[in-house]
Amino acid sequence: MDGAYRGVLGSFALFVFVVAALIVFECARGAAPALQKYGFDFFTSTDWDPVAEKFGALPYLFGTLVSSGIALLLAVPLGLGTAVFLAELAPRRVGQIVAFVVELLASIPSIVYGIWGFFVLAPVLRTTLEPWLGSTLGFLPLFQGYPFGIGMLNAGIVLAVMILPTIVSLTRELLLATPRSLLEASLALGSTRAEAIGVVLDAARPGILGAVILALGRALGETMAVTMVIGNTNRISASLFAPGATMSSVIANELTEATSTLHQASLIEIALVLFALTLIVNAIGRLLVVWATGGRRDVAGAA
Instruction: List binders of other proteins among 61-80 (CB under 8 A).
Output: 77-80
∠ CA(283), CA(288), CA(291), 5° rounding? Answer: 115
Could you tell me if 291 and 206 are in contact, meaning their C-beta atoms sit under 8 angstroms apart? Answer: yes
Q: Which stretch binds other proteins (CB under 8 A): 46-54, 65-73, 140-148, 161-169?
A: 161-169
Q: Which is nearer to other proteins, 119 or 141 (CB)?
A: 119
Q: Kindly report the number of other CB atoms within 10 A of residue 74's CB atom.
A: 17
Binding status of residue 260 toward other proteins by CB under 8 A: no
Instruction: List binders of other proteins among 220-249 (CB under 8 A).
Output: 220-224, 228, 248
Query: How far is CA 189 from its chain centroid?
Result: 40
Instruction: List binders of other proteins among 75-104 (CB under 8 A).
Output: 77-82, 84-86, 88-90, 97-98, 101-104
Q: In angstroms, what is the minimal distance from the CB of 85 to other proteins? A: 4
Q: In angstroms, what is the minimal distance from the CB of 7 to other proteins? A: 10
Could you tell me if 229 and 122 are in contact, meaning their C-beta atoms sit under 8 angstroms apart? Answer: yes
* Residue of the chain from 58, 65, 108, 187 that contacts other proteins (CB under 8 A): 108
| Sign of the torsion formed by the C-alpha atoms of 14, 303, 272 and 270 | positive
Binding status of residue 32 toward other proteins by CB under 8 A: no
Among 150, 166, 131, CA closest to 226: 150
Q: In angstroms, what is the minimal distance from the CB of 19 to other proteins? A: 6
- In DSSP notation, 152-180 reads HHHHHHHHHHHHHHHHHHHHHHHHHHS-H
Binding status of residue 129 toward other proteins by CB under 8 A: no
Q: What are phi and psi of 147, to 5 degrees?
A: -75, 100
Q: Which is nearer to other proteins, 133 or 158 (CB)?
A: 158
Instruction: List binders of other proteins among 162-221 (CB under 8 A).
Output: 164, 168, 192-195, 197-198, 217, 220-221
